[in-house]
Chains A and B, each alone.
Chain A
């Protein structure tokens, strides 16, 4: 049986997923000029991979199908090659004098950030709507 609280749980899982995405965007923007990571290579942008997470509930009107929460399966590293800049004096330059900078496009990250922000707002307004429904149920009688 699905009730008001399960709807809020589902919407909250969406909020968590979008917050994770915000974190990856922040990480990407912060590391836009990081030429050296722990394994010695340049930073490459990361993206969260979202997946459905089954909601365990018994029967109800809709049966078992239909609803699922969102989960972050893992973070995926973007394998694209970053910009190669010829700078032999740079400490991280390779034998030929090239430095690899991260494969981060600031515009791309900003667009992702706005999308994540709007999706978060959509989740919040879903919760508001469910809350209003639960409130109107409380006023019965």
Chain B
């Protein structure tokens, strides 16, 4: 009895997903897969960005005694900011809904020498307090994005389990 019920349930699910495919004018399975994970992709790019920035900041701390060294930092290319990188995940599904801000889904960085710094006696520009603050801040950002990624995947898992845990 329960087996028959399950069967009916599965077929109705298949029918509905076929309707979705028809509406998108696409029937390849890969499209659906990328659609599923489109919310995760920008988050993983943000993770990469912060990990790369952590590398650059670690390099600054390591060069605290290298004469003539100037500390570097990474900033996002163009007008992207943290909120925008996250809001890419929001897309309008109904005409009546408000549109989420849609930016580029790519988080790209540009390395530059930090401006307005004072040199020490050996011509080294690294100041430990500035770098330590940046490291801590960047770590926190990474952890926030990583938590969000985990939540996104949990949502998918929830949907995949038919909302049963």
Contact = CB atoms under 8 A, between A and B. Distances in A.
Find the residue from B49, B54, B67 having the highest chain A CB count within 10 A.
B54
Interface stretch (B20-28, B85-93, B95-103, B131-139): B131-139
B119 interface: no
Interface of A: 1-4, 6-8, 10-11, 13-14, 17-18, 21, 49-52, 55, 60-63, 65-70, 115-116, 118-119, 122-123, 125-126, 129-130, 132-133, 136-137, 139-141
A115 B128 CA distance: 11
Interface of B: 47-59, 61-67, 69, 72, 74, 107-111, 128, 131-132, 135-136, 139, 142-143, 146-147, 149-150, 153-154
Contact of B107 (A6, A61, A68): A61
A7 B61 CA distance: 11
A13 B50 CA distance: 21
A122 B64 contact: yes
Given A7-B51, A7-B55, A70 B139 contact: no
A2 B150 contact: no
A66 B59 contact: yes
A8 B49 CA distance: 16
A140 B56 contact: no
Given A10-B55, A130-B58, A51 B66 contact: yes
Contacts of A116: 65
Contacts of A14: 58, 61-64
A68 B63 contact: yes
A129 B56 contact: no
Contacts of A7: 51, 54-55, 58
Contacts of B58: 7-8, 10-11, 14, 67, 126, 130
A50 B63 CA distance: 8
